């Protein structure tokens, strides 16, 4: 069996999702078993199209893409075109994809793939709302002990939220799915806003990407140029946070990050704090930890990794 880390990327692209997918496709340490799509940043039809656009940009049209949930478990879908543009990948003009969407639904693909591999072999990498992961765990609880771990981007605690004062977008969109995932007993690594807001795409970092002069690096820089404008205005920073690539970078270079094991609970009852990730950082509840919550990042090392890898595509 290969010593590459086998992953499934669950995603709602989104410019930062696109960079995460490109980083994974450029990294031989990772074996991408498939990409599953979920409604989030934009509706499912667009996230599924965007995942295929990114695979084709990377020259990897053989990557299986499976469409999943078109709406959250219990709530109305909230999308983020005001951040990502009407396509979800506004910025560069990427051609319409020609590669197919796989016939199998994303949820069944996740279940079958985890079952087909030895225990502890498959890592799930959710970059968007957790609907597909929750549906897989609900439909097939037997897969929970077989999953190596779930490394996800979502939540925030000290940093607050980016969609409401209390909630980060991915968790807010489907808090009930997040609750299902965080109570499933699967080892979780969580990259919240507390860490992603320290990974800013400064002008110098985008210039380093453009300097590579490749079609992929040029497209990535154009994606981030568009994506940054919203957060730069919101936070008054030079550059915007690059959320989702933290998941892939953690798999490749865990030493770039630090955090601690905490108990994390998801608010599903209060409209005021709906989707809040209640992180017991100071261990005041004595509840057992269910996630390793990342808080610090070597941002220079993170961007160096992205530029070096994307230049390979």
Catalytic-residue membership of 243: yes
Check 66, 197, 243, 263 and give the catalytic one: 243
* Interatomic CA distance for residues 144 and 27, integer angstroms: 26
Question: Which residues lie below 8 Å from residue 310, measured CB to CB, with a gap of 6+?
Answer: 19, 22, 23, 26, 209, 212, 214, 216, 217, 220
Spatial contact of 180 and 134, defined as CB atoms under 8 Å apart = yes
Could you tell me if 137 and 180 are in contact, meaning their C-beta atoms sit under 8 angstroms apart?
A: yes
Residue 188 bridge partners (DSSP): 150
Residues 6+ apart with CB under 8 A from 203: 238, 239
Measure the CA angle with vertex 253, ends 209 and 51; round to 5°: 55
Active-site residue list: 243
């Amino acid at each position: 069996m290969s010593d590459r880390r086998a992953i499934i990327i669950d995603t709602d692209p989104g410019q930062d999702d696109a960079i995460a997918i490109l980083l994974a496709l450029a990294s031989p340490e990772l074996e991408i078993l498939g990409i599953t799509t979920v409604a989030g940043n934009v509706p499912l039809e667009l996230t599924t199209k965007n995942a295929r656009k990114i695979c084709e940009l990377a020259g990897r049209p053989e990557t299986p893409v499976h469409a999943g949930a078109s709406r959250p478990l219990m709530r109305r879908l909230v999308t983020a075109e005001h951040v990502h543009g009407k396509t979800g990948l506004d910025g560069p003009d990427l051609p319409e994809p020609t590669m197919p969407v796989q016939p199998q639904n994303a949820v069944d693909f996740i279940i079958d793939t985890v079952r087909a591999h030895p225990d502890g072999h498959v890592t799930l990498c959710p970059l968007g709302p957790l609907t597909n992961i929750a549906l897989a765990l609900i439909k097939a609880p037997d897969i929970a002990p077989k999953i190596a771990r779930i490394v996800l981007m979502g939540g925030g605690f000290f940093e607050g939220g980016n969609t409401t004062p209390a909630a980060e977008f991915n968790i807010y969109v489907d808090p009930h799915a997040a609750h299902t995932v965080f109570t499933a007993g699967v080892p979780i690594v969580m990259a919240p806003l507390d860490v992603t807001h320290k990974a800013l795409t400064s002008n110098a970092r985008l210039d380093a990407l453009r300097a590579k002069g490749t079609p992929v690096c040029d497209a990535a820089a154009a994606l981030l140029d568009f994506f940054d404008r919203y957060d730069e205005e919101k936070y008054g920073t030079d550059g915007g946070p690059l959320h989702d690539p933290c998941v892939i970078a953690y798999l490749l270079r865990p030493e770039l990050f630090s955090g601690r094991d905490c108990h994390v609970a998801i608010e599903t009852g209060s409209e005021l704090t709906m989707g809040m990730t209640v992180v017991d950082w100071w261990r005041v509840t004595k509840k057992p930890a269910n996630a390793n919550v990342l808080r610090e990042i070597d941002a220079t090392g993170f961007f160096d990794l992205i530029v070096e890898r994307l230049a390979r595509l």
